[in-house]
Amino acid sequence: GGYSSGGGRRVKPSKKRKGEGAGSAGEQGGESKGSGEVPWYRSFVKESDALYTTYMEKEWGYPVLNDDRKLFEMLILEGAQAGLTWATVLKKREGYRTLFHNFEISKVADITPDEEKKLVEDARIIRHKGKIAATVLNAKVALTIIEEEGSLSKYLWSFVGGKPKINERKGLSDMSSKSPEAEVMSKALKKRGMKFVGPTICYAFMQACGMVIDAPIGTPQREAILKKIRKDGLE
């Protein structure tokens, strides 16, 4: 979740700039120019939305390494967002955690067809039959990946060479909705049988989990993320 994952990819902005498609937020109204006075993401995150603001400040963009459960959670939530906004997904995140066993992959993979039918009727999550079925299917595929590769983390991070790709974004209008690495990841996951893992979803996932660093130059958020990366020896 975040810019491509919630902010730009599928949020419907009030304005579009010439040449910008669905992958761009299309407006710079709340964009920080490096002063940090106005959060760069304010054009797509309402100031009144504390949940989304906290997510952008404390979670989005920070590398998630060696945590298969968290990576699986983010991959599923990014897919759940398709056609919706990240704000909608965040509001239902706790519902997802409750109903999908806190995203413990083996437990999600064991969800039965009858249980899936019940989940479709539960308003605590996005009631989309295809997305719910894909969550269970993707968990089964994830288990295969873990068995073959040792961990889901190792496999997913391999698409960026095992460490964050640090981009030099000037602001929202300088961001992309996909990348060559996301295209390769999407193709590989689809080949394994996963669903709701298109290249735009994969890039949003990569942004959210710090596989690519897209926080704009000069923003406090970027500095905090880079500091964490240096501390963890991920440069």
State the average pLDDT over residues 129-158: 98
> What does the pLDDT read at residue 3?
62
Q: What is the pLDDT of residues 162-185, one digit of tens each?
A: 999 999 999 999 999 999 999 999
Mind giving me the DSSP string for 183-216? Answer: HHHHHHHHHHT--S--HHHHHHHHHHTTSEE-SP
Query: What are the tokens at 18?
Result: 């010439």
> What does the pLDDT read at residue 235?
85
- At position 226, the amino acid (one-letter code) is L
Long-range contacts of 15-19 (CB under 8 A, 24+ apart): 17/173
Q: Supply the residues annotated as catalytic.
A: 55, 78, 86
The number of residues making up the chain comes to 235
Lowest mean pLDDT segment, chosen from 4-8, 18-22, 111-115: 18-22
Whether pLDDT at 35 is above 60: no
Q: How many CB atoms lie within 10 A of CB 75?
A: 26
All domains in the chain, ordered by first residue = 61-232 (1.10.340.30)
Confidence band of 23 (pLDDT split at 50, 70, 90): very low
Mean pLDDT over each residue of the chain, to the nearest integer:
88
Query: What are the tokens at 201?
Result: 């979803």
